[in-house]
Structure 1
Amino acid sequence: MLIFKLASASLLVCGLMLTAACGGNSQSNPTGGNAAKTSGDPIKVGAIVELTGGAALSGKFKQQGIELAVEQINKEGGIMGRPVQAVFEDDQTSNPGAVSAYQKLISQNVVAVIGSIRSTETQALDPYIRNAKIPMLFGGTDDKLTQAGNEWLLRFRPPDRFAAETLVDYTANDLQKKRIAIIYSSETFGENGKNLVAAELKKRGLEPAAVIPYTQGNKNWTPILDNIKRSDADAVLTYMNVSEDSALLLKQYRQMGLQQTYVGAPASVSNVTLNLAKEAAEGIYGVGDYVPNQNEANKKFTAAFQAKFGQIPDGFAGWVYDAMMALKKAIDQEKSTAPDKIRQGILSIKGWEGTEGVYDFDPNGDGLHGYTVVKIENGTQKIIKMVNFKK
């Protein structure tokens, strides 16, 4: 295991490079700060992170979000007076990689695991989570994940049914688009999202102008975009969860001269997408559960993240930061690191403002219940409207 203390964004990059070069998958951050006294054995928190593979750029944000939370928690005296230690394992942006990472983590006496933002990985991990009986704080948004009776799953992003309703309502009603084509990733997240979007269109008496799947990591979007051109679509709605894919699609979308209004799920408006797509993302719409400076907690987080790492964070960093802070809140409240006590403490969180919004956990383990519509202007997210749903 590689153990180190991160002091800056540059050291983080070096740490990631060292991991890749050495073939190592496990990293730890034992303290991250020394302003307040901590004592005793560290409380270990496992984290499944995309250090390599197709989403490694997003994984960097995720690791940084956790590192910032660990640093702040330890500066404030840790959890129950004990230091917190984050233990990272690389999921290689794949289901087998996620399973391997999880198995390594639960062998290291972690009290909880911060999991994947991808529903397909969480789905693959489900039987292992049930067997381990350790809280999994995750970001995958497939509704079914918290409806299948796995009590150890605790979600820190709003589920897809809210995203689909917000996307379709804004596109059909606010933008007045009635011939909407759907491009979606052909895995758990995308399939579920496509079905929810189609259902929302049907509620409004609409049928998709085209429904087109793609495989994650796709490099050639010409056949898909040719299909869009041949359709009578006046808007394109994308349901994708890999920012690198979103960026490449947007670049080729512009290169091929498509004029249809573009509206996307959260990955379409992430920092990674905007940084890679640059001007190709200008003018698109999207929904996000995380928008920089959307509330007071977010403003403080954004300022601290920018001061430490020299860039503005996005949702990949935000939800894991919230998860770490909620974990501290739960353990301090219950005065225990027992798995059932941690679960109980997180489920009791009501009206707590995090970077992603106000958390009100329901019995299924869902903490958030709303999305924000944004438009990309001058390379940044401009808030158009915020939509909250009743539980």
Structure 2
Amino acid sequence: MTLRPLHPGPGLLPVVMLLCIVTAAFSSAGCTALAGTDAAPVRIGVLLPANGPLAMHGLDSLAWAVDALNRQGGFDGRPIELIYRDTSTGNISAYAEELAGRGDIGVIIGPATSAELSEIAPLVTSQGKILISPSATSGLITAGFAESDRVWRTCAVDGQQVKAVFRVLHDDGVRNVSLITADATYGETFARLAPGAAAMTGIRITGAVSVDASDDVAGLAARIGEEDPDMVVAAVYPEDAARIADALDAAGSSADLFLTDACRSPYLLEALGERAEGVRGTSLTSDPSTGFAIAYEETFGEMPPPFAAETYDALLLAVYTAARQEAAPAESPAESLRRVVSGDGITKGWDPQEAGEAIATLRTGGHPAVTGASGPLRFGARSSAGPLVGYYTCWAVEGGAFCESTPVPSADVSPALPGLSYDPAGDTGDDRPVVWMVYPLVKGDRSFADSAYRGLFRAQESFSIVKRECTYGDLPLLDAVFAAQTFTEKPDLVITEGFQFTDASRRWAEANPGIRFFTLEQADYGLPNACDVVMVPYGASYLAGVMAANITSTGRIGAIAGAPVSVIDPFVEGFRAGSEAYDPSVNVTVRYVGESFAGFGMPERAGEIARELRNEGVDVILMIAGSSNTGIVDAVRETGDVYLIGEDTDQSYLAPSLVVASVVKQIDRIVCHAVEEEVSGAFTPGREVWTLENDGTGLFISPRFADYAWAATDWRERAIAAEKEYLKTAVI
């Protein structure tokens, strides 16, 4: 794997420094990430591959995390430093012995595979050191190291994935499968647990076999042809998956291929090329409410690969253990790590600011409830069993890329944003502007909230601020705080997002004239401390209607909205107007998921409506239902004969071959602009209206549908003119 340079921005380390962090020739002195300090670094060992088919385990995440934490100040000025050994070259046992034998390393991150973990864990733990693997998922590890408190995993175990696989297949109507598992520690869990999971879902396993690199997969494909299963489930590594796919194709098998997390690798796409189209599978993913995937994409220009979040979390646990050791040096590292993951204080998230505050709190003996990029960092009695909750997604190869369905947790969990205040040891003297971001929902809606977080993250990278995040679910707490003005950390700027905050924003702003408020999609308050922004998507939706009317082959198009609320009206009216302007004979059907704000968070109901519209002949759907949009996408994927238009942000990643365009609101740019004005002292109260004409909204054409760019260009002036007419009478 080649380390990609970070997104350029203030304070980021030069690329040479990042290369220094992850070079296999990293010396015992290392590269100092905080120039000019004489303090001893906090050193962490790393045993992960940089090259080969398994090189997908998040080295970028490690470099990014270390750089960001060091920019936050590290350990009160002491830099965090990685001592890295590339396990794709050399002898992993020798590397493990070397790092475990160093007196300045207490925690080692790695290895990548379950077989490697079984090999090196005794070498590491016998030296009293902790081993944290972000990607060794075999259930055998739990049993093999049940008595050890020094073997940890930040990835959920394969037993949870086995259940997820057969649940997905059952929901897809699959009744017979042929099972192929790797003849390795990784595959053993699937081979052992699959029969039980299949029986619980009513699926019959027609045949099961374990394979290694020397096995004749052509003969295996012939046998599978005789079994005639609906699906071939292969829990193997990418090289074997490519060989199996080729053999099934050569044998003329009609069975589809369903893979597991190890195969969600760029190697699979490179090895199979166009033949990878339609291949599906499951894999671990990050908790969408953390915003990690958004921040990663903003930094690297692509969605995080499998185990990137788990690798990031392994670093957090290593650093937090070191912080706890400073507060309680008499504890063993294992005792300190157990203390870290049992925190019951204020919640602290994964991002560098929150993690830096967690470090400071732990160093002073505090007990924060730490969460990670992958989700809650909560563990049972056996650390080797991995976290209690993991997030899984069903992926498919579409248009030469991986696209994913809605992530779901393996157990019941309530997403929680970090707490409002931070006070580890009284007044810290931090004079940075404090910005509160209040979302309509927790992050993960792939729409309104996520776009706002993208802007907030961009602002964090560009300006020196302290951010706090809340949601509509925190309304009672926020009401009480603003009414009583009981601030432990008074905000300078509060950004509220969504029409449901209309009354609350007014109350808060009127009661707190010394705080500036930036409101999105609410009302014109006319207050001297409020800037009220409205984004009118009429013109952009007009263009979407033009495009939809051109695409449809049935003459029937539709829109699925979250609820019949005012913020939805410009979408619907613009969509109707554009369709009628292009072809008056096209029928437009509008359906609502719910009657209130709850309709924007009901993906299953939205999916049902999408199926109803498809049955009525609708073949193009505008999705304006917030997080419910994911249910629409999942439903349309079932037949692949309906095209979709997303909302608020580019949603082509949801289904690259189905989402032709998105009606976008530049929420991210507006949020970042709001923070920039606060930082520069240029906050301006009043009403701001963003439209198609001033580029506050627009129609984004998805990459695979560039031939429809004419809709956004040739019809732009007519859409602007129509939008101006609409604004003459519309109440916004």
Both structures adopt the same fold (TM-score exceeding 0.5): yes
Q: Which runs of 5+ in 1 are unaligned?
A: none
Kept in 1, the 8 Å contact 2:58–2:311? The answer is yes
Map of 1:289-328 to 2, 5 A cutoff? 289-290=284-285, 295-306=290-301, 312-328=303-319
Q: Which runs of 5+ in 2 are unaligned?
A: 6-12, 345-368, 414-732
Query: Cα distance, 1:296 vs. partner?
Result: 0.6
Kept in 2, the 8 Å contact 1:46–1:113? The answer is yes
Residue-by-residue CA offset, 1:125-170 (whole Å, 9 max, x unaligned): 2322331221111121122323421111111110111000000111
Give 1:158's aligned residue.
156
Match of 2:220 among 221, 224, 238: 224
CA separation in 2, counterparts of 1:260 and 1:38? Answer: 61
CA separation in 2, counterparts of 1:293 and 1:203? Answer: 29
Q: Normalization by structure 1: what TM-score?
A: 0.81
Residue-by-residue CA offset, 1:29-75 (whole Å, 9 max, x unaligned): 634466xx7551111111112246xxx24336533322222212211
Give 1:372's aligned residue.
393
Give 1:184's aligned residue.
181
Q: What SS does structure 1 have at the residue aligned with 2:105?
A: coil
CA separation in 1, counterparts of 2:322 and 2:76? Answer: 8
- Percent identity for Structure 1 against Structure 2: 19
Kept in 1, the 8 Å contact 2:371–2:377? The answer is yes
Give 1:43's aligned residue.
42
Kept in 1, the 8 Å contact 2:107–2:132? The answer is yes
Q: What SS does structure 1 have at the residue aligned with 2:253?
A: coil
Residue-by-residue CA offset, 1:4-39 (whole Å, 9 max, x unaligned): x984399859x87xx6xxxx69798634466xx755
Residue 98 (structure 2) pairs with residue 101 (structure 1): no
Query: Cα distance, 1:272 vs. partner?
Result: 3.6
CA separation in 2, counterparts of 1:65 and 1:150? Answer: 27
Q: In structure 2, do the counterparts of structure 1 residues 46 and 385 end up closer, same or farther at CA, with 3 Å as the change threshold?
A: closer
Kept in 1, the 8 Å contact 2:155–2:307? The answer is no
Amino acid corresponding to residue 393 of structure 2 in structure 1 = T
Map of 1:1-391 to 2, 5 A cutoff? 7-8=14-15, 12=19, 30-32=31-33, 39-51=38-50, 56-59=52-55, 61-92=57-88, 97-108=91-102, 109-138=104-133, 139-147=135-143, 148-171=146-169, 173-215=170-212, 217=213, 221-240=217-236, 242-290=237-285, 295-306=290-301, 312-333=303-324, 335=326, 339-348=333-342, 352-365=370-383, 366-370=386-390, 371-378=392-399, 379-384=401-406, 386-389=408-411
Kept in 2, the 8 Å contact 1:44–1:87? The answer is yes
Amino acid corresponding to residue 232 of structure 1 in structure 2 = D
Amino acid corresponding to residue 41 of structure 1 in structure 2 = A
CA separation in 1, counterparts of 2:152 and 2:29? Answer: 23
CA separation in 2, counterparts of 1:386 and 1:250? Answer: 28
Kept in 2, the 8 Å contact 1:7–1:32? The answer is no
CA separation in 1, counterparts of 2:37 and 2:249? Answer: 53
CA separation in 2, counterparts of 1:254 and 1:289? Answer: 28
CA separation in 2, counterparts of 1:10 and 1:113? Answer: 21
Q: What SS does structure 2 have at the residue aligned with 1:363?
A: coil
Query: Cα distance, 1:99 vs. partner?
Result: 2.0
Residue-by-residue CA offset, 1:259-278 (whole Å, 9 max, x unaligned): 21222210222344334433
CA separation in 2, counterparts of 1:270 and 1:352? Answer: 29
Paired residue total = 367
Q: Normalization by structure 2: what TM-score?
A: 0.45
Kept in 1, the 8 Å contact 2:176–2:205? The answer is yes
Q: What SS does structure 2 have at the residue aligned with 1:280?
A: helix
Larger radius of gyration: 2
* Greater shift in the superposed pair: 361-370 or 173-182: 361-370
Q: What SS does structure 1 have at the residue aligned with 2:55?
A: helix
Q: What SS does structure 2 have at the residue aligned with 1:286?
A: strand
Say which structure, 1 or 2, has more relative contact order (CA 8 Å, 6+ apart).
1
Query: Cα distance, 1:244 vs. partner?
Result: 3.6
CA separation in 2, counterparts of 1:380 and 1:10? Answer: 31
Amino acid corresponding to residue 99 of structure 2 in structure 1 = L
CA separation in 2, counterparts of 1:126 and 1:29? Answer: 24
